[in-house]
Amino acid sequence: MSATVVAYVLHEIQRLPGGLVYGLVALLVFGEAALFIGFVLPGETSVIVAGVVASQGHVNIGVLCALVVVAAVIGDSVGYAIGNRFGDRLLAVRMIAKRRAEIDRTLDALRRRGPTYVFVGRFTAFLRAVMPGLAGMSKMHYRRFLIANAAGGLIWGVSFTLLGYFAGHALTKIERWASWMGVGLLLLLIALWVTLRIRSKRREARAASGERVE
């Protein structure tokens, strides 16, 4: 999202009463995965902007942090339920269908190491929007999903809200840093997957070699 758009959103939100600010941010965070709003407006943008608004005294930072975390956890739970029930229809959505190869890889990873992917996915824009639905499609047990989702939602919600709060008007620089952090986490996850895959192949090769010797 461009700095111009962010500045406009910040300006407009500052003009709203505190109650509407809380409601708008909660709706955007909730709808990111539940209603796929994340394809249009990444949740981290609204959270950072709300943090900046809180730094100017328009809303309470403690209430805002709690609201963001709760909205994130509930919204992802709704996304999980949608994916669990309407998985095939979800894959037909145009924006998702265009990234089918990535979706298939993520589904495969979720079936093997679901909670890790759910947690890390919270910090990457695209995965944050689709991960809950994919977790439901993969038939991951909801309790495992909820624990990973709540942990990710807590850390993400508090950290990005405080990021905006302490950054004040340095919003553009902070957003750029946040994007790189998301990319870094995604690369770390990929590296972990490759390492585990290589180790698995080596174990399989040693086991096969042992069977031939016998």
> Distance between CA atoms of 127 and 130, rounded to whole angstroms?
5
Q: Is the pTM of this model over 0.75?
A: no
Give Cα separations from 56 to 5, 31, 181 (angstroms).
20, 26, 26
Residue 66 lies in a domain: yes
Residue 28 lies in a domain: yes
Residue 204 lies in a domain: no
Nearest to 186 by CA among 134, 146, 126, 136: 126
CA atoms within 13 A on the CB side of 181: 14
Range of the domain at 153: 3-184
Residue 213 lies in a domain: no
Residue 198 lies in a domain: no
Q: Is 10 helix (H, G, I), strand (E, B) or coil?
A: helix
- Residue 57 carries which DSSP code? T
Residue 201 lies in a domain: no
Residue 50's contacts (CB-CB under 8 Å, 6 or more residues apart) are 13, 21, 25, 59, 64, 68, 161, 164
Q: Considering only residues 212 and 179, tell me which one the structure prediction assigns the higher pLDDT.
A: 179
Model pLDDT for residues 45-84, shown as the tens digit of each residue? 888 888 888 888 888 999 999 999 999 999 999 989 988 8
Residue 214 lies in a domain: no
Q: How far is CA 200 from the centre of its chain?
A: 28
Q: Are 161 and 65 in contact (CB under 8 A)?
A: yes
| Confidence at residue 4, expressed as pLDDT on a 0 to 100 scale | 53
Residue 46 lies in a domain: yes
Q: How confident is the model at residue 115 (pLDDT cuts 50, 70, 90)?
A: confident
- The count of structural domains within the chain is 1
- Residue 17 carries which DSSP code? -
